[in-house]
Amino acid sequence: MDLFNDTTKATRGIHVGIGGWAYAPWRDNFYPKGLVQRRELEYASRHVTGIEINGTYYGTQKPATYAKWRDETPQGFVFSAKAPMRIMQSRQLAKTGPQIEDFVGGIAELGAKLGPLVWQFDAGAKLERESFTAFCDLLPREANGRVLRHVLDVRDPAFVDADYLALARQHGFATVLTDSPDYPSFADITTDFVYARLMRSRGGIASGYPADELDAWAQRVRLWAQGSEPGDLPKLTNDAVKSKPREVFLYFISAAKERNPAAAMALIERLAKD
């Protein structure tokens, strides 16, 4: 069998994947033995349907690098990307326009494979409502003629409230469902797509998650994709939101990272049975 044939396809606008693709333990339990590192993205993108790029948090890449990643991945695959730390940790968020333009201008080279951009404000960061609102006004709505999708990930529990959700809805931004015991976790829907990070994989389980939990996540993803929403996840408000079918982006991140590719593939397999 050709290891680089597509073994999975995006299903009804559902993208399930992992954070990054260069991780040494994956060379023991995900990548085939002997696979050269320069082909790891090519392989990973044919076994999951999305990857959240972590490296962009630490530094932007040259447009030529984004173009290379674009060309190595199959049709229907998407990259989400974390915005650079130099923006997210700025003490003057309202003045980060030039840095935002620089980041977006480069990563737009991913073209049709550019998924949501994630603006992550780490726990401990002191956010002021006025400057945060001004920052949201800076995020561009399109690049190179393509509509951009933005995701807010605020990890300060004191900032995450109904006003925060209202601001996200006003701008058409998603908020992250972070299924984690360490960060605010809520499933309120604020726009026409859903963005989830699952952070509870366990090293002692080959698939990262037990079968019943994967079954439950598959059902939640189906509901989101259909325009409905699951009733078993925590929310900040009682707002019930129904819409047209939505795009869903779900990534297995952190926790027992060595198990995350297996978790993603197990969830994709469940969704493919529909």
pLDDT given at position 7 = 58
Whether 5 is covered by a domain: the verdict is no
Task: List, for residues 168-213, the tens digit of each pLDDT value.
Answer: 999 999 999 999 989 999 999 999 999 999 999 999 999 999 999 9
What average pLDDT does the structure give for the chain? Answer: 93
Digit-coded pLDDT (tens) for 129-144: 999 999 999 999 999 9
Residue pair 155/199 in contact (Cβ under 8 Å)? The answer is: no
Does residue 8 lie within any of the structural domains? no
Q: How far is CA 84 from CA 41, 53, 65, 80, in A?
A: 21, 11, 16, 13
Mean pLDDT of 246-272: 96
Give dist(CA 50, CA 73) in Å, integer.
10
Report which DSSP code applies to 11.
Answer: B
44 within some domain: yes
Residue with tokens 């680089």: 4
CATH number for the domain that contains residue 174 = 3.20.20.410
Domain for residue 7, yes or no? no
- d(Cα 237, Cα 165) in Å, to the nearest integer? 9
Q: What angle is formed at CA 252 by the lines to CA 34 and CA 99, rounded to 5 degrees?
A: 95
Q: Band the pLDDT of 3: cuts 50, 70, 90.
A: low
Res 154 pLDDT > 70: yes
Q: What local confidence, expressed as pLDDT, does residue 4 receive? A: 58
Q: How many structural domains comprise the chain?
A: 1
Q: Which domain range does residue 37 map to?
A: 14-272
Q: Please report whether residue 117 resides in a domain.
A: yes
241 inside domain:
yes
Beta strands in 217-271 (DSSP E): 247-252
Token representation of residue 178 = 């972070």
> What SS3 state is found at 166?
helix
What are the DSSP calls for 102-130, one per residue?
HHHHHHGGGGGGEEEEEEEE-TT----HH
Any domain includes 173: yes
Q: Which residues pair with 259 in a beta bridge?
A: none
* Residue 76 pLDDT exceeds 90: yes
